[in-house]
């Protein structure tokens, strides 16, 4: 039983480019199709930038198709020049292998691993001899043509090493191998992958005499036209040790008004009609749409329990946008009781007792120690700028000291700006 996966992707805005729309739609509606998406293990965690392909994978799987998740253990050693203005530092084989394992476990949160295939292209590139490779595969590529690829053209200005130049060929070969071994018929990828994908489609046709397809997803930009998923601290990661769940939730919660609808389509499974209604909400009610987005996205990445915690922590801090559940939604967020009362999931920091003796501890030092500020200097500037709060009262002077008297029942609340808070305990 197949759902119309093509229509689903189309409606939700996933489709940017495709090789043969009509034939692809027909294929997806006539049989369970094996498809693949590749991820290069360039870090030990995926980040939000990877999420769009992952969500597409999930939707396709739910519609009855079979995903292959390819981890590029070999290609990461080469480095994809697509969409990058300069070469990345070359990574050691050990690091790449470690990253590959980490990615696999993260991917398994989003897709049903029992019904998917995990492969690592290091497996087939490992034994390939250079001369054989040149003869069998290299002979089928035209340098003239490769030079016209957007990803290559862009780098002709700044420089492109021969190593990176090969990337396209390697990725193309991946497709042909997956087609031969697993009957893989479609490759999906980000917008910048178009060149690599079509060269794979071409190569597979020539090597295997098989008709295969490619499709790319749009590049996500926020409404300012900046790359999506980057914040002050860099990328937003799926690994909770890199990006705490609360911050992950907040990333979505703080999205731009204009983007909520789009993001709900991509990153939640809510029905499209509901999304339309939510994103059409006016003024303050739009915040409910953001809460739903943040909650749903966090459920996917970190599980329901964690998402609830993040939701309650955020709402108890900033307020519930729809405490009475007036806005209809199918999201399970509506079942969370705001009345849970006393929910306080603030990160804590324990001050060593000796610091509080005598005159107490200098606030600047405490701010820096607790991790709210990166240095004493930053803490001082924060106070001078009026952005530091002790038990919700603005700290007026840099010279302030914190003593045991500032603690209520052994704890006090220290804020750096409106969004960074820590509970300090003694």
Partner RNA sequence: GGUGGGAUUCCCGAGCGGCCAAAGGGGGCAGACUGUAAAUCUGCUGCGAUAGCUUCGAUGGUUCGAAUCCAUCUCCCACCA
Q: How far is CA 247 from the centre of its chain?
A: 13
* Residue 304 or 418 with smaller CB distance to RNA: 418
CB of 150 to RNA, least distance (A): 18
CA nearest 265: which of 296, 239, 231? 296
Element (H, E) at 114: none
CA nearest 1: which of 27, 44, 30? 30
CA nearest 383: which of 397, 403, 372? 397
* Residue 117 or 398 with smaller CB distance to RNA: 398
Phi-psi region of 236 (alpha: psi -120 to 50; beta: other; left: phi over 0): beta
Q: Which of 20, 44, 192, 345 is catalytic?
A: 192
CA separation for the pair 14, 10 (Å, rounded): 6
Known active-site residue 47:
yes
CB of 426 to RNA, least distance (A): 22
* Residue 303 or 377 with smaller CB distance to RNA: 377
Known active-site residue 84:
yes
Known active-site residue 227:
yes
Known active-site residue 250:
no
Structure tokens at 7: 């229509």
Three-state SS at 412: strand
**Residue ranges with strand state E in 227-329:** 230-231, 234-235
CB of 418 to RNA, least distance (A): 5
Q: Which of 231, 348, 384, 403 is catalytic?
A: 231
CA separation for the pair 89, 224 (Å, rounded): 29
CB of 284 to RNA, least distance (A): 5
Known active-site residue 381:
no
Three-state SS at 301: helix
* Residue 68 or 263 with smaller CB distance to RNA: 263
CB of 257 to RNA, least distance (A): 4
* Residue 115 or 161 with smaller CB distance to RNA: 161
CA nearest 8: which of 74, 62, 72, 85? 62
Q: Does residue 400 contact residue 360 with C-beta atoms inside 8 Å?
A: no
Look-up of token digits 């739910």 = 62
Which stretches of the chain bind RNA, using CB under 7 A? Answer: 157-159, 223-224, 231-232, 250, 253-257, 283-284, 286-287, 290-291, 314-315, 317-319, 364-365, 368, 374-378, 380-382, 384-387, 416-420
Q: Which of 12, 19, 40, 50 is catalytic?
A: 50
CB atoms within 10 A of CB 356: 19
CB of 84 to RNA, least distance (A): 14
Known active-site residue 192:
yes
* Residue 234 or 271 with smaller CB distance to RNA: 234
For the annotated catalytic residues, the residue numbers are 42, 47, 50, 84, 88, 171, 192, 227, 230-231
């Amino acid at each position: 039983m197949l759902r119309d996966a093509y229509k689903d992707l189309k409606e939700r805005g996933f489709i940017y480019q495709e090789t043969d729309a009509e034939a692809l739609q027909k294929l997806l509606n006539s049989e369970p199709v094996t498809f693949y998406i590749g991820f290069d293990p360039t870090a030990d965690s995926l980040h939000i930038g990877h999420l769009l392909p992952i969500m597409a994978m999930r939707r396709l799987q739910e519609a009855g198709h079979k995903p292959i998740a390819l981890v590029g253990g070999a290609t990461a050693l080469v480095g994809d020049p697509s969409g990058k203005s300069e070469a990345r530092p070359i990574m050691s084989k050990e690091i790449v292998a470690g990253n590959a394992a980490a990615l696999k476990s993260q991917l398994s949160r989003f897709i049903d691993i029992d019904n998917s295939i995990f492969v690592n292209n290091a497996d087939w590139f490992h034994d390939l001899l250079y001369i054989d490779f040149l003869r069998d595969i290299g002979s089928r590529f035209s340098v003239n043509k490769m030079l016209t690829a957007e990803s290559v053209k862009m780098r002709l200005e700044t420089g492109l090493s021969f190593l990176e130049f090969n990337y396209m060929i390697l990725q193309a070969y991946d497709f042909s191998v997956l087609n031969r071994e697993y009957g893989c018929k479609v490759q999906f990828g980000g917008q910048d992958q178009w060149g690599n994908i079509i060269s794979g489609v071409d190569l597979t046709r020539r090597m295997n005499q098989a008709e295969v397809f490619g499709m790319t997803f749009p590049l996500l930009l926020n409404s300012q036209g900046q790359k999506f998923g980057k914040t002050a601290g860099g990328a937003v990661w799926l690994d909770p040790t890199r990006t705490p769940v609360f911050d992950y939730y907040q990333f979505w919660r703080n999205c731009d008004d204009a983007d909520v609808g789009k993001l709900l389509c991509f990153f939640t499974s809510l029905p499209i009609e509901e999304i339309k209604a939510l994103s059409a909400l006016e003024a303050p009610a739009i915040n409910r749409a953001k809460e739903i987005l943040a909650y749903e996205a966090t459920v996917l990445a970190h599980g329901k329990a964690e998402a609830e915690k993040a939701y309650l922590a955020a709402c108890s801090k900033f307020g519930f946008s729809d405490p009475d559940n007036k806005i209809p939604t199918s999201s399970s967020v509506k079942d969370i009781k705001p009345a849970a009362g006393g929910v306080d999931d603030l990160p804590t920091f324990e001050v060593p007792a000796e610091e509080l003796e005598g005159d107490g501890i200098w606030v600047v030092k405490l701010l820096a120690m607790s991790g709210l500020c990166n240095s004493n200097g930053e803490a001082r500037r924060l106070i001078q700028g009026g952005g530091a709060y002790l038990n919700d009262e603005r700290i007026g002077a840099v010279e302030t000291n914190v003593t045991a008297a500032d603690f209520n029942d052994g704890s006090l609340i220290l804020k750096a700006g409106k969004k960074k808070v820590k509970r300090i305990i003694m």
